């Protein structure tokens, strides 16, 4: 819905600079660069504070899956806020929306992942899942199983533990991390595999990396492996076919639990509510979810755990023990009501089927950009895509940071009416699931002209690239 409100962009920008600390905003730039203020929205479009209409190529941040401005969603949120805005989820306390939404999630979950632990977002879902794994092994008398295996370029969140299992090199600067029990494997990125190596051999090496690491640490000390099915923020890294199944087999062989982080890949983005089983052929032990869980209308996260694990913690064996982890706003009733309305819409409009239909077209149109000499790789699946920009296509050397590529690409796309998300030399797209063919064309056409303009600007400023 578009209001007739007028925004004073200059005043808002000044106040933003004065008071708001933004995540991931270079601190020198925060005080100098103008903020990009998004004020309103409608369907697949957002409007900045000057009224400029832009196709939202990033679905907010991988999350506004059902699109913006859904009245029935706003009504569901308002109704629940009036009926019961909040009540504690701790101990035996519960609310109808949490119970009903938990049941519906369990129905969609693969295998026996029938138990839902609600959190407040993706980081707290991952953090809680990892703490649950620690709790589980302590509970069943295997307290040595503490080590976590993850991957470079993973992004799992911003709490101490979820950030520690993340692995984007650029995020490792001035923060502290858990290091003694966290191990990072190289990312399964086929584009960056050694020259001349086949994809099948590359896959073998990635599987060997995992098994060798488990053996090196000692299977009796390794608790779990955590993996996004497609590494989203690390640059939409799609592992070779068979990777998921084979990593799960290695984990099973060594009694290592498998956490599939579906914070981005779930809720339709890959054409399924949970992608682990239908898309990647695995039933993990734990799935984490957030973002599309409520399509970003309100914050919520959750992890789902298998009956196989949970059953061992319940009953007389428990002897009064409990999982001492949770948040005031875990299972927030308003968020759970939003989650149910979100599922209603996804089901009624068959948004998963829609993504399976339009996703390949989206990939095909963006893959068409690969003829531009600055584009090294275009990769993705359904409504997750990354374009990797390089200075030299043969060596795959990225566009160096000092050419301010992110600023240039944001400017050139936004002024033509498209929002994308640059991360260093990468640009990711993850539009709302309601995107139409015409809007896919619009995004691809804008990207082509915007990239052309960026190339002209870079060339004028002296950057040379090798085709």
Q: Which residues bind ligand PLP (CB under 6 A)?
A: 121-123, 126, 155-157, 228, 232-233, 261, 263-264, 290
Indicate the DSSP class of residue 231.
B
* CA–CA distances in Å: residue 82 to residues 71, 198, 266, 414, 447: 16, 59, 29, 38, 44
Distance CA 243, CA 35 (A): 40
Least Cβ distance, residue 376 to ligand PLP (angstroms): 23
For 131, counting Cβ atoms within 10 Å of its Cβ (0-12 exposed, 13-18 middle, 19+ buried), the class is: middle
Give the start-end residues of each E strand in 242-312: 257-261, 286-289, 301-305
Least Cβ distance, residue 93 to ligand PLP (angstroms): 24
Least Cβ distance, residue 428 to ligand PLP (angstroms): 11
Indicate the DSSP class of residue 420.
-
| Nearest to ligand PLP of 156, 379 (CB atom) | 156
Least Cβ distance, residue 158 to ligand PLP (angstroms): 6
**Residue whose C-beta lies closest to ligand PLP:** 122
φ, ψ (nearest 5 deg) of residue 303: -125, 150
User: For residue 51, how many other CB atoms are within 10 A of its CB?
Assistant: 12
| Nearest to ligand PLP of 261, 388 (CB atom) | 261
| Nearest to ligand PLP of 122, 333 (CB atom) | 122
Least Cβ distance, residue 156 to ligand PLP (angstroms): 5
Least Cβ distance, residue 167 to ligand PLP (angstroms): 12
| Nearest to ligand PLP of 55, 63 (CB atom) | 63
Q: Where are the alpha helices (DSSP H) in 158-290?
A: 160-164, 199-217, 243-253, 276-280
| Nearest to ligand PLP of 134, 430 (CB atom) | 430
| Nearest to ligand PLP of 287, 399 (CB atom) | 287
Distance CA 238, CA 229 (A): 8
| Nearest to ligand PLP of 43, 122 (CB atom) | 122
φ, ψ (nearest 5 deg) of residue 151: -130, 150
Distance CA 244, CA 268 (A): 19
Least Cβ distance, residue 263 to ligand PLP (angstroms): 3
Least Cβ distance, residue 231 to ligand PLP (angstroms): 8
Distance CA 256, CA 247 (A): 10
Distance CA 52, CA 46 (A): 8
| Nearest to ligand PLP of 56, 261 (CB atom) | 261
């Amino acid at each position: 819905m578009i209001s007739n409100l007028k925004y004073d962009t200059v005043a808002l920008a000044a106040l933003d600079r004065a008071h708001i600390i933004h995540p991931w905003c270079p601190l020198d730039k925060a005080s100098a660069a103008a903020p990009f203020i998004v004020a309103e929205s409608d369907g697949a479009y957002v409007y900045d504070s000057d009224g400029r209409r832009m196709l939202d190529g990033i679905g907010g941040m991988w999350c506004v899956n059902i699109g913006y401005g859904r009245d029935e969603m706003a009504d569901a949120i308002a109704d629940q806020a009036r009926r019961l805005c909040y009540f504690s989820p701790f101990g035996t306390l519960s609310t109808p929306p949490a119970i009903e939404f938990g049941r519906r999630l369990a129905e969609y979950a693969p295998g026996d992942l029938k138990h839902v632990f609600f959190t407040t977002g993706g980081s707290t879902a991952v953090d809680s899942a990892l703490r649950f794994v620690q709790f589980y092994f302590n509970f069943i008398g295997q307290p040595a199983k503490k080590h976590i295996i993850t991957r470079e370029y993973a992004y799992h969140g911003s709490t101490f533990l979820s950030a520690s299992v993340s692995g984007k090199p650029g995020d490792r600067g001035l923060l502290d991390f858990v290091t003694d029990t966290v191990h990072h494997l190289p990312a399964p990125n086929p584009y960056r595999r050694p020259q001349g190596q086949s994809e099948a051999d590359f896959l073998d090496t990635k599987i060997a990396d995992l098994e060798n690491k488990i053996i090196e640490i000692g299977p009796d000390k390794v608790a779990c492996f955590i993996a996004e099915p497609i590494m989203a923020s690390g640059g939409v890294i799609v592992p070779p076919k068979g990777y998921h199944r084979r990593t799960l087999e290695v984990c099973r062989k060594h009694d290592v639990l498998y956490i599939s982080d579906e914070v981005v890949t779930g809720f339709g983005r890959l054409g399924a509510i949970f992608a682990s089983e239908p898309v990647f052929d695995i039933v993990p032990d734990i799935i984490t979810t957030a973002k599309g869980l409520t399509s970003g209308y309100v914050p919520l996260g959750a992890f789902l755990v298998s009956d196989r694990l949970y059953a061992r913690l319940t009953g007389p064996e428990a002897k009064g023990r409990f999982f001492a982890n949770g948040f005031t706003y875990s299972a927030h009733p308003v968020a759970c009501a939003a989650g149910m309305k979100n599922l209603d819409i996804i089901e009624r409009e068959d948004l998963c089927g829609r993504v399976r239909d339009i996703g390949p077209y989206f990939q095909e149109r963006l893959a068409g950009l690969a003829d531009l000499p600055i584009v090294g790789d275009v990769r993705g699946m359904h409504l997750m895509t990354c374009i990797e920009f390089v200075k030299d296509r043969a060596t795959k050397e990225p566009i160096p940071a000092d050419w301010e590529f992110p600023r240039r690409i944001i400017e050139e796309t936004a002024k033509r009416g498209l929002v994308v998300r640059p991360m260093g030399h990468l640009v990711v797209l993850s539009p709302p699931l309601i995107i139409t063919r015409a809007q896919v064309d619009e995004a691809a056409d804008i990207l082509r002209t915007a990239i052309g303009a960026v190339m002209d600007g870079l060339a004028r400023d002296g950057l040379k690239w090798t085709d």
